[in-house]
Chain A
Amino acid sequence: MPMGRGRKPLGRLRAAALTAVAALALAGCADSSAVQGGGIPSVIHLLGVRDQTGPVSYTGISAANGTALAIEEITDQHFLGAKVTIDVDERDAAFNPQTASSEITTGLAAGNITAVLGPQVSNESLAVAPIAQGSGVPIVFTQSGVDGLLTGNMTFRASSSQASIWPNATKHIIDSGAKRVAIVNTASNATYKELGNKTLPALLGKSGVKVAESFDLESTVSDFQAPVSRVIAAKPDAVITTLIGPQIPTLVVQLRQAGYDGPIYTGNSMTDAQLRTMGDAGIGLMFPSTFSYAMTDQVPAAFTAAYKAKFGTLPDVFAAETYDQTWWVARAIKQAGSANPADVAAALPQVGKKGFTGAQGALTFENGNDAKAKGVLVRWDGSKQTIAR
């Protein structure tokens, strides 16, 4: 009897509960229609995971700016439709692979993410790639030149690897008549280490340029008088360095103080703030890059003008790369006619195979998923960047 008496209220409760669950499910479907169904929804959700704090936060802050500018243009141009807006959930990887993994996991839990704008630091990218791949959401990296990153069908890269932009610099070295070079190499970054130990000697060796002296140095080395002493003794025609951060200004100035007056080439992550710290010693320093605000081609120049108008400062390579990254995703959404992650992942290589012109100039995509730009060789004249080649 008690059971019988309780049946009716329990039934009503059950019905109410089912109704509530159904309503919630419908509400969920409505919110995630972008992900589940066809057509481009009115709001597209992207997830950004970059370093907003930590030792390379300047890269993540610029990256977020590049994306913000691209989204503003995409929206203003009604590129994906008159009423379509893009919402980016920017999360801080804090220069820590574990944090990056945690943030991407939390961000993807929302269930409505169309694509992830991935980290720039290789070890963070390696940590988050399997999470995006496992979630079936495409992730587009910038920088992150490490090998083995683009192994799944959900992984993409919107910036050229160092190996693909350095030929521009090595040709400049060869054309200058150099026969012997010294390489001061970082031992703390796998990508740059390989560049200095394998890629550059191979590129130069083809034209008979000999590596007279080569060093691997840890990121904890702060004073370079010892390697500089050996570089000077080797009498190179050019010095190349793949060091990173504040090590570059120290090396450049100590080379000049030691009497070296030949050309110096460095990695592509040089900002004006870093270049200025070198004073007169930095004049003439050259570095290959996929972007410089000195580029005069139509799209890069328009990007520079728009960026300066929006943020009041000149853009750097990190902003240019994420500007192209965001536009690549937008083109893929338009190509797919959908914000469903699987559709976008399928469309990204299709857009990649056609290529497009972005802030980095004309972009082609190896295998449809790995951007290649010709790049430029930038020369610092003491106050601003100029194009050397």
Chain B
Amino acid sequence: MTTHQIDKQTIYSYLEEINDPEVPVLSIIDLGIVRDVKMNGEEIEIIITPTYTGCPAMDMITATIKIQLATLGFKKIKITQALSPAWTTEWMSEEGKRKLKEYGIAPPNPKQQVCDQKLFAAAEAVQCPHCNSYHTHRISEFGSTACKALFQCLDCKEPFDYFKCH
């Protein structure tokens, strides 16, 4: 039990070194897409979940995990994709949110603020990652990647990405 515990922790620490190719400041652990690591004897099984169904980064992340662990000498690696429970921005670490903001992407607000069907809803209050103003507005619900929406700050005038709640 104890050895397994240690092994699992070690694997997690290796996975922390792997970044999301589209938001390279975030590790896949920060992003909350690693759901579990299982040690099945010789084999290491890593269970991951996609952020969005069509996210093209997932294939690359899968390949990177395999390469990284193989380089470290692990021979049997199995990556399993789990769809349920569905990924949510609530799984993003606080550390991840801090890193996002530093990188210039507004981190997701707590979920209850927007994910409903109401039409023409006022955009939620999103803080500008550059000047910290809340005087911002949404330009588009869809952005440069599936996980982001496009905002603009009305004080410093800078456009910025918002990692939308999901």
A binds B: no
